[in-house]
Amino acid sequence: MNGNHSGSTRAGTGGRTPMEPKADRETVRRHNLSLVLRTVRDQVEATRAGVAARVGLTRAAVSSLVEQLIESGFLSESGKTFSGQAGRPGTVLKVARTGLAGIGVEINVDYVAVCVVDLAGTDRVRLVEHLDNRGAEPAEVFGRAARIAARALASATEQELRPVGAELALPGLISGGSVLHAPNLGWTSVPAETPFAEALAALRPGPPALPVRSENEANLAALAELWFGGLGDVRSFLYLTGEIGVGGALVLDGELLRGANGFAGEIGHVSVSDDGPLCRCGSHGCLEQYAGQAALLRAAGLDERAGAAGMAELERRARAGDDAALAALSGAGRALGRALSGAVNLFDPDAVVLGGVYRPLMPWLGPPTGAELEARVVSGLWSPTSARLRASSPAADAARGAAALVVQDVLADPVAYAPRPPA
Amino acid sequence: MNGNHSGSTRAGTGGRTPMEPKADRETVRRHNLSLVLRTVRDQVEATRAGVAARVGLTRAAVSSLVEQLIESGFLSESGKTFSGQAGRPGTVLKVARTGLAGIGVEINVDYVAVCVVDLAGTDRVRLVEHLDNRGAEPAEVFGRAARIAARALASATEQELRPVGAELALPGLISGGSVLHAPNLGWTSVPAETPFAEALAALRPGPPALPVRSENEANLAALAELWFGGLGDVRSFLYLTGEIGVGGALVLDGELLRGANGFAGEIGHVSVSDDGPLCRCGSHGCLEQYAGQAALLRAAGLDERAGAAGMAELERRARAGDDAALAALSGAGRALGRALSGAVNLFDPDAVVLGGVYRPLMPWLGPPTGAELEARVVSGLWSPTSARLRASSPAADAARGAAALVVQDVLADPVAYAPRPPA
């Protein structure tokens, strides 16, 4: 049920043990094509010799693999370099800036964000539209998202990019291509992948329909943070994204922890206060009721449906020292700290990353959140000034994570996606 | 820092990929010896032919491996069976009931429990002494534990068992052989492995000193539950153990989740109520203050230091319908349910297992705990009658888990422990 992603490229795979039959020649070659492609992507000035040294294959083997990747349009050559190797210059290899790509479509409660990512992971197209999806029929919401996605695909085509799949990022429990439960959209058991794929195909009668998959938006934002967030050595972290709801995700040793049913990470519905206000999920006192976007706006004396403009106003007022704004942020920070301290006691991560609307508010949310963590985390490793509590990177969001997940599948087995058959 | 257990047999290991150099012959043989030994252990009536079919090696290869394991004392032959294979009877193979073993020593706040486990995982010696370790000097506590362990080792010797290592189970944050923080013992930065090893060696001047390692007791109880608890298909679960403190552990896909610093699972210090009573950890409103043993006894009108006798009296009173006892259990169940619902929202496990003092109290704790889970878990997969909430197995506890962890290392590489050099 893992949000459709139980494939071998997603999960931490089990080990190949010595008594298993040897992989056949074709399997090894496909694996090595992927390895060379990913190694080129990860290096600043990759050369055949440099890649060979890095992956432990012969120079001749790497050259043959590189030729196939160039012929298939995954790699291109770009100038010469003397770096790394003594003596002769090497030809610099780059992952192709055109050709295969991925598209990510985040459908959230009050916005839709679309991102197209190329094979190098660069975000080449970005579209964000603020709108209110609450109360709208799912068909209408998917229609809106498909129109924005179609515009992004047109921009991608102009840049000679060809997305091979779309990944939906949705604010709720996702399983088997459907939204099982998205309290803030008011959706229960709503099919997502098929309606979106059909709406998009209707807008693009020419090209073959894009395969569509779906995943929880906080999970995808956490993957974006892992891949593009500049986290350094941090491999295990809790990710929180503040939106209308509060989404969460757990990354353990560089792998998303999806849980037994794909529903892990729901920190928005961790209870902060025993007899707190009723939440849309049916429980009481959930974190969302203290630190969600509506709660923040309300506590600051702003219209709780004011959306992005309201959040910008909240930030402006906080910067100006407005008492109500500062009190609202302090209260939300304490609630975040209480929920996070429980999660940190359970999970013992290297870091906690706050994203979404929390990112620009960290100057005010950070200190009260950190104070609660210091008081409540039993390991004693947390303090208000600890670098363990950090804002998300502006380069990382759910739409980019979604698009990069499509690209990751291409990189994991380029032969399966090769636009031209290998020679 | 993983409580000293970062070795290859403990963590989920990465995959061996096709381009790595081939394992050499000796490495493969050691691996296969381990594989055959573990396969025999896991089967009811193992034969050479049955093992060969199971592991995918030739009958001849398995026979050779089995001979080496018999010569080294890991396996023995035991009668004939016709089961499984058509035609000729096979000789039944058993893991040796004598020889190498492990010893686990749980030092808790008001008891010490010692267990010796043989290669088959059977607990062959058990000793439990109720005593009060609060306020005692660490040296005295390790001396007590060593005396009990020495008696268990004498019983093991009588049964021709030879433990090759001792594992300490301790109620606190463990790292680098020390107790970093054990609030209910009042210990901070107390070395554990060396003082225990020395105290034990002083009591046994003859044999070579046992290697000693240490781990959090809830982690070891959770491993015991995984290995001996009859959990069936459940591979991801939250484990809670009620003692003076409330310990917790998370098992994900059959692996203990230790966290970035080895401190994961501290559910006892998840906050249940914002402004609840001060906890020994320094925070307020921790689960321990509502559902720890002392809190339960106090709420039922019993002496909070009455220990095991007090808990037996609480159970007796609950069975008799005593109002204070029932109210105490109902309140503790609600607190457990609140803390657990947050953990389940975060981690999405297959099951929650309640052990320690909670096990016999499940008839009264289960319904209020389950009601909170039903109300607060956003996936909707939990209900008061769900089999997902269950009591721990009486066959599983921290001392047995500790002993079995030592045995697991033997099974992972029997050659490293072979009492007689292989022929």
Q: pLDDT per residue over B286-341, tens digit each?
A: 999 999 999 999 999 999 989 889 999 999 999 999 999 999 999 999 999 999 99
Cα B337–B341–B342 angle (5° rounding)? 125
Of B181, B252, B339, the CB nearest to A257: B252
Residue type, B95: V
pLDDT of A2 over the 50 cut: no
Report pLDDT for B296: 96
What single DSSP character describes residue A46?
Answer: B
Which residue in chain A is spatially nearest to B281 when comparing CA positions? A378
Residue B13: pLDDT above 80? no
pLDDT of A19 over the 90 cut: no
The residues pairing with B94 across neighbouring beta strands, listed in sequence order, are B76
- The pLDDT score that the predictor gives to residue B84 is 56
Strongest mean pLDDT among A179-188, A325-334, B258-267: A325-334
Taking 60 as the threshold, does the pLDDT of residue A422 lie above it?
Answer: no
> Does position B263 have pLDDT exceeding 70, yes or no?
yes
At B7, the pLDDT band (50, 70, 90 cuts) reads: very low
Cα(B287)–Cα(B273) distance, integer angstroms: 8
Distance from CA of A344 to the nearest CA of B (A): 8
- Whether residue B6 is predicted with pLDDT greater than 50 in this model: the reply is no
Inspect the interface and report whether the beta carbons of B282 and A375 lie closer than 8 Å.
yes
Q: Strands across the sheet with B99-107, in order?
A: B123-130, B111-118, B99-107, B161-170, B212-216
In this predicted structure, the answer to whether residue B2 has a pLDDT above a threshold of 50 is no
Does residue B406 surpass a pLDDT of 70? yes
Q: Do A261 and B348 count as a contact with CB atoms less than 8 A apart?
A: yes
Interface of B with A in 90-149 (CB under 8 A): none
Q: State which residue of chain B sits closest to A180, comparing Cα positions.
A: B379
Question: Which positions in chain B touch A269 (Cβ < 8 Å)?
Answer: 345, 376-378
Across A109-120, average pLDDT: 95
Please tell me the predicted confidence (pLDDT) of residue B419.
Answer: 62
Give yes or no for residue A198 having a pLDDT over 80. Answer: yes
Write the ipTM.
Answer: 0.83
**What is the mean pLDDT of the segment spanning A178-193?**
93
**A342 contacts in chain B (CB < 8 Å):** 270-271, 339, 342-343
Q: Given a cut of 90, is residue A403 above it in pLDDT?
A: yes
Tens of pLDDT, residues A238-261: 999 998 889 999 999 999 999 999
User: What is the per-residue pLDDT for B90?
Assistant: 85
Q: What is the mean pLDDT of residues B173-190?
A: 93
Sequence-ordered list of residues with C-beta below 8 angstroms from that of A67, at least 6 positions apart, any chain: A423
User: Domains of chain B by range and CATH?
Assistant: 25-95 (1.10.10.10), 99-219+398-417 (3.30.420.40), 233-391 (3.30.420.40)
DSSP state of A61: H
Q: What is the pLDDT of residues A285-301, one digit of tens each?
A: 899 999 999 999 999 99
Give the residue from B267, B274, B379 with the most A CB atoms within 10 Å of its CB, the best one to mutate. Answer: B379
The mean predicted confidence, pLDDT, of chain B is 89
Position A23 confidence tier, pLDDT thresholds 50, 70, 90: low
Confidence bin at B248 (pLDDT 50/70/90): very high
Q: What is the pLDDT of residue B304?
A: 92
Q: What are B191-202's pLDDT values in tens digits?
A: 999 999 999 999
Question: What is the average pLDDT value for chain A, to the nearest integer?
Answer: 89
Q: Please give the pLDDT value at position A248.
A: 95
Helical ranges in B187-265 per DSSP H: 193-203, 217-228
Query: Which residues, 6+ apart, have CB-to-CB distance to B228 below 8 Å?
Result: B121, B393, B395, B396, B400, B404
Averaged pLDDT for residues A156-181: 95
Question: What is the band of B210 on the pLDDT scale with cuts at 50, 70, 90?
Answer: very high
The answer to whether the Cβ–Cβ distance between A55 and B345 falls below 8 Å is no
Are A347 and B264 in contact (CB < 8 Å)?
yes
Question: Mean pLDDT, to the nearest integer, of A188-196?
Answer: 96
Q: What is the pLDDT of residue A15?
A: 39
Candidate from A14, A260, A271 with C-beta closest to B342:
A271
CA B108 to chain centre: 14
Strands A351-356, B178-182: parallel, antiparallel or unpaired by DSSP? unpaired
Query: Quick one: average pLDDT of A29-52?
Result: 93
pLDDT band per the 50, 70, 90 thresholds, residue A354: very high
Which carries the bigger pLDDT value, residue A160 or residue A279? A160
- Between CA A203 and CA A199 the distance in angstroms is 7
For chains A and B, CB pairs below 8 A equal 185
Q: Quick one: angle between helices A323-347 and B323-347, nearest 10?
A: 90
Q: What is the mean pLDDT of residues B155-179?
A: 95
Put simply, the answer to whether A236 touches B259 (Cβ < 8 Å) is yes
List pLDDT tens digits, range B144-166.
Answer: 999 999 999 999 999 999 999 99
What does the pLDDT average to over B358-373? 96
The whole-number average pLDDT for the span A199-224 is 94
